[in-house]
A and B are shown apart, each in its own frame.
Chain A
Amino acid sequence: DAGITQSPRHKVTETGTPVTLRCHQTENHRYMYWYRQDPGHGLRLIHYSYGVKDTDKGEVSDGYSVSRSKTEDFLLTLESATSSQTSVYFCAISESTLRGPSSYNEQFFGPGTRLTVL
């Protein structure tokens, strides 16, 4: 299994408080992703990173920010959590390029963080 850990694994917080989720990898993969998954739905991409200090928005980026100061760590921050951000958050890593003719972009996923915003 790919070496991906997420912390915390569970968190309960209140509306309006800041929250930071951490994704840590030991694979030295270049690409890292944050997804959220809500009941009855597939995963939706929040933000992704294609290198240290290089990040871009995904499908549902409003209300979230990210940072990547080291290859192994990708942080997801909710500046002011809202109840609509209650979800399970998954981090993923990939070593293949986002833009290339032969990339198959296999992603390896972490165990997830269950966040509840009251």
Chain B
Amino acid sequence: DAKTTQPNSMESNEEEPVHLPCNHSTISGTDYIHWYRQLPSQGPEYVIHGLTSNVNNRMASLAIAEDRKSSTLILHRATLRDAAVYYCILLTSARQLTFGSGTQLTVLP
């Protein structure tokens, strides 16, 4: 199965941008890159996804490297409510989400 590598934890100051990296060197041409996040004591929630081009939505931006072997989730202005575990997931041909350990984001006031 295609796998992703993320840092275990990151910190950010409130109202500053946050760049969450993800490596996926074994990605295949048809794998979509998905990001979910899980707030404390809640189920995961969808953040953003992309295939080749950079993507923006109301929650975040996704920057995908030209060779697609890495991507970065960008939160433009972190708030305390963005403190969560962020999961980078490759949606493979089996179309099942396989969660890794994710990155624990701490937002400092």
Using a CB–CB cutoff of 8 Å, the interface residues on chain A facing chain B are 35, 40-45, 48, 58-59, 90, 92, 97-101, 103-112
Contacts and interface: CB of A to CB of B under 8 A. Distances in A.
Contact of A58 (B30, B34, B95, B96): B96
A24 B30 CA distance: 32
Nearest to A6: B43
A104 B49 contact: yes
A83 to B, nearest CB: 23
Interface stretch (B15-23, B64-72, B97-105): B97-105
B45 A104 contact: no
Interface residues of B, number: 21
Contact of A106 (B46, B87, B96): B46
A87 B34 CA distance: 25
Interface in B15-45: 30, 32, 34, 41-45
Contacts, number: 56
B101 A40 contact: yes
A105 B44 CA distance: 14
Contacts of A105: 32, 34, 91, 95, 97
B87 A104 contact: no
Contact of A111 (B42, B87, B100, B101): B42
